[in-house]
Structure 1
Amino acid sequence: MATTTTTAKQNGGAKTMKSQIVTEHNGPIESREIPIPVPNANELLVKLTASSLCMSDIAAYAGHLGQRAPVCLGHEPVGVVVETGSGVVGFKVGDKVGFMPFRGMCHDCEECLSNQHRFCDKKHEGMTQLYGGFSEYALADPFSTVKIPESISDDLAAPLLCAGVTAYNAIKTVAKQQPGGTPLNIIGVGGVGHVAVAYAKAMGYRVTAFDIADDKLELAKEYGAENAINSMKLADSDIVKTQTTVVISGAAPAYALGVKATKKHGRVIAVGVPHGPLTFDMLDLILREVSIVPICQGSKEDLDACLKMAALYKIKPTISVKKIDQLEDGFKAMMKGEVTGRWVYRFDN
């Protein structure tokens, strides 16, 4: 039977919490006192300890993903379960968990029945409400939630909940048609990309990393890239093509390079989200039979696997730990390209 406790008791009698609210797109972030959400029968209430900042948060902040302000962003949260709904099984109060921002799935559509709950048309996204990864408490759906291995700290686990699972899923997609021990190009080695290099290295791939920032290229080498190339200084004749190229940057030139860097009959794994339409030479794709294969984050099973693999291979994203009241500074820094790795925000410092 599910364990149920009371929010007020877990919060020392308080019934409100602080939430970092985007008041308008590209505007200030305001700390507001709002009611602690109440879980329904099939939800968990999680007291957050750490949450990291992602480029998807930046896209939502700028209004590119359709979220309406006011909204609390953040979708890489780690915390402790403080309340479980009466219908929840598999989780109990005190579990250290992480979760993706999808709730309210129908469990009856084609996507849900194939364990692809994040594609359910009836789901609710946490990034559309006033409590998200940058609030003190958040609601989680058990079908989007996993337990965090004890060997991984909250700070290091947070980036794995989006950057990690996305990177893992990208390399898993590579592995479906390309064996380990073979060369692999990865374009864009920032917050997601440097973790992708680590997972690719763990799976045996020989990685060449591309980026326009030298500090990110140095980071890629630290995580196992055999070669690290500044694509701003690269001539087309110098490109060594691989059977698969993973494009994690959302910049249009990154996708153009991705197509050039891929062999005949190869695949471009599309991870980065451009802010506008891309233009491809379709004749070139057809004549060389190059495929564009998009991936969207990963399933709950992928998240669990990526965390276990991180624990086994000691994959640790590069992080800088910040106070939650410094969040707006992080948004500004990331928009300027000044963040290497991931900035993780704590709720207890």
Structure 2
Amino acid sequence: MTSPHMRAAQIAEFNKPYQLSSQPVPQCGDDDLLIEVHAAGFCHSDLQVWEGQFQAELPIIPSHEPAGKIVQVGARAKGLWKVGDRVGVLNFKKACGECVGCRQYVRRKGCTDPRFCEKREMAGFKHDGAFAEYMIADPATTVLLPGEVSFEQGAPLMCAGATVWGALQKLKPEVRPGETVAIVGIGGLGQLGVQFAKAMGFKTVAIDNRPEGRKLATKISSDLSPDLVVDSSAPDASDKILDFTAGEGLAGIVVCTDSVLANTWSLRQLGNGGVMVPVGLPKDRWQFDTEHIVFRELTIRGVYVASREQVEEMLKVVAEHNILSHITSLSFEEIPSLVAKYTDPAMKGRLVVQIKQ
């Protein structure tokens, strides 16, 4: 008997256009969920996968930002999952429970977390992802979408949202509500970061050297709009930040770009005891001023991506505050043009593919 097939887009060769093809629908194992993908996002990491930076074995189905519905629940799938549930899926899955990363996390937190498993699968990075009509999900890293969140809006939250939300959590406990936090790089992550920071009670500065990014920051709804928008390339950029903070400098800063120069500049904007969280992955190493770190007692804190529990908290905030990504929607047939659209200097916000019309 022939197994059912689905539409899928694949990387068959690095730096070459995605290929649209027909692939077998993946088999749902006893511990799995089978997801019908309705929307899937494209982000900077997808560009890096396409360029070969993650050394994935080809061919591979890309995209790690899926939102859709459960169509099959494995016999041993943990949780109260049912067919028809609207869900988002995080890219890391299937913790082995035995490696060093799993053992350390169990010792510290009392449970496993696929983010740190040395044998984890990474959908869209090194294993098949969301540019297909169906995909396999791990119940441990699947989250219910609130009814207020559409599939198109839900998809970017599975990476862009989860990353910048996790970064903002890393500002704690040093940075408290009412203090000033900056988001650098107002693209898909940064636009969400500004809204999250406002919802968390921070005074918020949006920073970008691109007019497109600064314009995007001004399009955020008034309740969540930044208190100050700064052009980091302007000669008086640092002075504007100091004036806004009464000479103290920023309490926290989240940098949503992999530019080494932008990260170096961002650190200098922190006041005493400030915290910086860089989320980009530059090809070259970061370069930070040791004098600023030492004499201001600054903290640079790494972040991977938010845990499932943190994402569940994030989704409650998204629904409560009507937090939205600026989205450009594409059809499945337009997937081969994604890289060109993403790298267009005029591109603003997030690209999302409507897998199921």
Deviation string, structure 1 residues 128-155 (Cα, Å, up to 9, x no partner): 5663111111100011101111111111
274-283 or 256-265, larger mean C-alpha shift:
274-283
Alignment check: 8 A CA contact 1:21 1:130 kept: no
Instruction: Label 1:236 to 1:343 Cα distance change in 2 as closer, same or farther (>3 A).
Output: closer
> Deviating runs (4+, > 3 A) in structure 1?
128-131, 234-237
Which amino acid counterpart does residue 212 of structure 2 have in structure 1?
Answer: D
Alignment check: 8 A CA contact 1:218 1:228 kept: no
What is the CA distance between 1:52 and its match in structure 2? 1.0
Deviation string, structure 1 residues 37-89 (Cα, Å, up to 9, x no partner): 11221111101000111111111111122323321110110111111111013
Instruction: Name structure 1 gaps, 5 residues minimum.
Output: 1-7
Which amino acid counterpart does residue 303 of structure 2 have in structure 1?
Answer: I
- In the alignment, which residue of structure 2 is the partner of 1:17? 6
* Alpha-carbon distance between aligned partners in 1 of 2:53 and 2:297, rounded to the nearest angstrom: 32
* Alpha-carbon distance between aligned partners in 1 of 2:57 and 2:189, rounded to the nearest angstrom: 25
Number of equivalences: 338
* Alpha-carbon distance between aligned partners in 2 of 1:319 and 1:203, rounded to the nearest angstrom: 23
- In the alignment, which residue of structure 2 is the partner of 1:204? 201
Q: SS of 2:164's equivalent?
A: helix
- In the alignment, which residue of structure 2 is the partner of 1:329? 337
Deviation string, structure 1 residues 69-123 (Cα, Å, up to 9, x no partner): 3211101101111111110132111111111122221245235533533111121
- In the alignment, which residue of structure 2 is the partner of 1:171? 168
Match of 2:152 among 155, 158, 162: 155
192-201 or 124-133, larger mean C-alpha shift:
124-133
* Alpha-carbon distance between aligned partners in 1 of 2:188 and 2:229, rounded to the nearest angstrom: 16
Alignment check: 8 A CA contact 2:153 2:325 kept: yes
- In the alignment, which residue of structure 2 is the partner of 1:273? 281
What is the CA distance between 1:157 and its match in structure 2? 0.9
Match of 1:27 among 16, 32, 38: 16
Alignment check: 8 A CA contact 1:98 1:146 kept: yes
127-136 or 320-329, larger mean C-alpha shift:
127-136
- In the alignment, which residue of structure 1 is the partner of 2:81? 91
What is the CA distance between 1:313 and its match in structure 2? 0.9
Which amino acid counterpart does residue 105 of structure 1 have in structure 2?
Answer: A
Alignment check: 8 A CA contact 2:182 2:204 kept: yes
Alignment check: 8 A CA contact 1:19 1:130 kept: no
Aligned-residue RMSD, C-alpha: 1.9
- In the alignment, which residue of structure 2 is the partner of 1:245? 253
Q: SS of 1:185's equivalent?
A: strand
Which amino acid counterpart does residue 259 of structure 2 have in structure 1?
Answer: A
* Alpha-carbon distance between aligned partners in 1 of 2:238 and 2:133, rounded to the nearest angstrom: 52
2:266 aligned with 1:258, yes or no?
Answer: yes
- In the alignment, which residue of structure 2 is the partner of 1:230? 231
* Alpha-carbon distance between aligned partners in 1 of 2:104 and 2:186, rounded to the nearest angstrom: 31
- In the alignment, which residue of structure 2 is the partner of 1:217? 214
* Alpha-carbon distance between aligned partners in 2 of 1:341 and 1:171, rounded to the nearest angstrom: 19
* Alpha-carbon distance between aligned partners in 2 of 1:256 and 1:112, rounded to the nearest angstrom: 31
- In the alignment, which residue of structure 2 is the partner of 1:3? none
Instruction: Label 1:255 to 1:244 Cα distance change in 2 as closer, same or farther (>3 A).
Output: same
- In the alignment, which residue of structure 2 is the partner of 1:282? 290
- In the alignment, which residue of structure 2 is the partner of 1:71? 60
- In the alignment, which residue of structure 1 is the partner of 2:351? 343
Instruction: Label 1:101 to 1:233 Cα distance change in 2 as closer, same or farther (>3 A).
Output: same
2:41 aligned with 1:52, yes or no?
Answer: yes
Alignment check: 8 A CA contact 2:71 2:83 kept: yes
* Alpha-carbon distance between aligned partners in 1 of 2:104 and 2:315, rounded to the nearest angstrom: 23
* Alpha-carbon distance between aligned partners in 2 of 1:42 and 1:272, rounded to the nearest angstrom: 33
* Alpha-carbon distance between aligned partners in 2 of 1:284 and 1:204, rounded to the nearest angstrom: 27
Which amino acid counterpart does residue 191 of structure 2 have in structure 1?
Answer: H
Match of 2:315 among 307, 312, 316: 307
Alignment check: 8 A CA contact 1:190 1:341 kept: yes
* Alpha-carbon distance between aligned partners in 1 of 2:194 and 2:83, rounded to the nearest angstrom: 35
Which amino acid counterpart does residue 187 of structure 2 have in structure 1?
Answer: G
- In the alignment, which residue of structure 1 is the partner of 2:133? 136
2:110 aligned with 1:110, yes or no?
Answer: no
Deviation string, structure 1 residues 223-276 (Cα, Å, up to 9, x no partner): 311111111223465242212111111111110111111112211111122122
Identity %: 28
Deviation string, structure 1 residues 14-36 (Cα, Å, up to 9, x no partner): 61112100111111110111111
Match of 1:120 among 112, 117, 127: 117
Instruction: Label 1:102 to 1:298 Cα distance change in 2 as closer, same or farther (>3 A).
Output: same
* Alpha-carbon distance between aligned partners in 1 of 2:105 and 2:175, rounded to the nearest angstrom: 28
Q: SS of 1:216's equivalent?
A: helix
